[in-house]
Amino acid sequence: MDPFVAGIVSLFVIISLVVLGVRVAYAAGITGLFGLVLLIGSRKARDGGVLDWIDAGWSAGAGLAGTLAHSEVSHYSLSVLPMFILIGFLAYYAGLTQGAFRCARAWLGWLPGGLAVATVFATAGFAAVSGASTATAAVFSRVAIPEMLKYGYDPRLAAGVVAAGGTLASLIPPSAILVIYAIIVEESVGSLLLAGFIPGAVSAIVYAAIIVIRCKISPDLGRPVAGLNWGERINSLPGMMPIVGVIAIILGGIYTGWMTPTETGAVGAFIVFCMALARRLATGQGMTRTDFRDAMMETSKLTVMIFTIIWSILIFVRFLGFTGLTTAFADWIVHLDVAPVVVVILILCVYIVLGMFMDGIGMLLLTLPVVHPAVLALGYDPIWFGIIVVKMVEIGLVTPPIGLNCFVVNGVRPDIPLEQVFKGIWPFVVADIITVAVLIAFPGIVLYLPHLMLANVAG
């Protein structure tokens, strides 16, 4: 069996399985396992048939796949994932969202489409303690959409801004998907997390600008909130302090080098828990014992799901490494007679298409083993490319037919039809494309904080 041909065939097999509805973890694991078995077996039983190859290669192939669960998934860097996931669930059950939204409303409600603008920055703030896009969309579907509809906002704008705002959790630390990218490509988790902060803020600003421009042109989409005063603004600030505190701990700990990303996650989770406990003791509101148990259970379930996907994809990645397909693809990309930026744009277009049919984690795990070496061969920074790719994952979270965040918003607010939710996200997709163009043109926006961190550590 020719290894290169086997690699090409395996890509078609796994894509076909995913299109047919097989979960990416199972599709990748099964394809990778049988690929390893057949490849090893074909070398041991050169003159035999497929059944002979399976018989000859099963022990070694299955053994190799089995050892990956410990040798790769037990890395210390992966321990950051459950910590960041726990922060998100604790923040959700602690009710930190209401204070963030009230503060954003008080300070930004005077703008055209002010409540939608407030929703963008409130979701950005909550994203900095949640790290989960769907959780952010679900929470603000309950908090922000009723307020916007109460003030007569267009339901498409109200639903669209919540779905799009939720995607900011993929970019703003503590982002689980940035951690997964760092692990796949073996880059610094701390550098990736810091790199996502400024692009996340830029994304929020571009979203807000799109809203203001649209509502200025068509005031009926969303009008300013009247009657806001400075007293209300000042009084709203304490509601944002818990989120600001967690952001400062996560970014400050990583930037100064005082704590590893895992340690910042653990400290952040403990502080959010203490905030929730203090609120419960002081007001009788917030996280109950049942909520805490649910937060721990949901964290465990999501962590197991992510680790299962990682293990399965690693089996497939190990098989691809044996085929030599990734090296051949990188060599082919380097020798293309086009500008490197054209290659990057074509790769991003592929991500847009894949994002319509696959979840973000599966998409990264499936494509990066092939794409990442090629991008490095073109001379691009892997940290910069990681942020660009995650922006494409954000677009996939809101584009049909999958558009997971849109389904979440519709699930929480069934009174807003799914078609209306999808109609509401397109201006934000345009905003994301604008942001990606800016980040491609000015890579320093992405690399500024990571370079500062390296200089600080070196100094």
Structural domain includes residue 16? yes
Choose the weakest-confidence range: 140-144, 396-400, 414-418, 454-458: 454-458
Average pLDDT in the 2-26 region? 80
Choose the weakest-confidence range: 45-59, 112-126, 345-359, 394-408: 45-59
Structural domain includes residue 184? yes
Is pLDDT at 87 greater than 60 in this prediction?
yes
Separation of alpha carbons 370 and 326, rounded Å: 5
Last residue of a domain, one of 71, 89, 111: 71
Domains: count for the chain: 2
Residue 413 identity: R
Residues 452 and 390 in one domain: yes
Residues 232 and 350 in one domain: yes
List pLDDT tens digits, range 163-178: 999 999 889 888 888 8
Question: What pLDDT, on the 0 to 100 scale, is given for residue 69?
Answer: 67
Return the axis-axis angle of helices 189-217 and 176-185, rounded to nearest 10°: 140
Question: What pLDDT, on the 0 to 100 scale, is given for residue 430?
Answer: 94
- Which pLDDT band holds residue 1 (cuts at 50, 70, 90)? low
Residues 25 and 174 in one domain: no
Residues 172 and 298 in one domain: yes
Question: What pLDDT, on the 0 to 100 scale, is given for residue 458?
Answer: 54
How does the average pLDDT of the chain come out, rounded? 85
113 CB burial (10 A radius; 0-12, 13-18, 19+): buried
- The pTM score is 0.83
Structural domain includes residue 316? no
Is pLDDT at 295 greater than 70 in this prediction?
yes
Residues 117 and 7 in one domain: no
List pLDDT tens digits, range 426-456: 999 999 999 999 999 999 999 998 888 777 6
Tell which wins on pLDDT, 209 or 101. 209
Residues 260 and 354 in one domain: yes
Residues 100 and 191 in one domain: yes
Residues 200 and 248 in one domain: yes
Tell which wins on pLDDT, 457 or 319. 319
Q: Which domain holds residue 161?
A: 76-310+342-458
Separation of alpha carbons 51 and 58, rounded Å: 10
Please answer whether residues 351 and 181 qualify as being in contact, where contact means their C-beta atoms are separated by less than 8 angstroms.
Answer: no
Last residue of a domain, one of 52, 71, 90: 71
Residues 229 and 371 in one domain: yes
Average pLDDT in the 185-190 region? 84
Residues 199 and 234 in one domain: yes
Is pLDDT at 401 greater than 90 in this prediction?
no
Question: What pLDDT, on the 0 to 100 scale, is given for residue 18?
Answer: 75
Structural domain includes residue 321? no
List pLDDT tens digits, range 361-370: 778 877 888 8
Structural domain includes residue 320? no
Residues 66 and 100 in one domain: no
Structure tokens at 274: 């203490």
Question: What pLDDT, on the 0 to 100 scale, is given for residue 127?
Answer: 85
Question: What pLDDT, on the 0 to 100 scale, is given for residue 421?
Answer: 94
Last residue of a domain, one of 18, 49, 71: 71
Question: What pLDDT, on the 0 to 100 scale, is given for residue 255?
Answer: 75
Residues 100 and 62 in one domain: no
Note the Cα 386 to chain centre separation in Å: 11
Is pLDDT at 459 greater than 60 in this prediction?
no
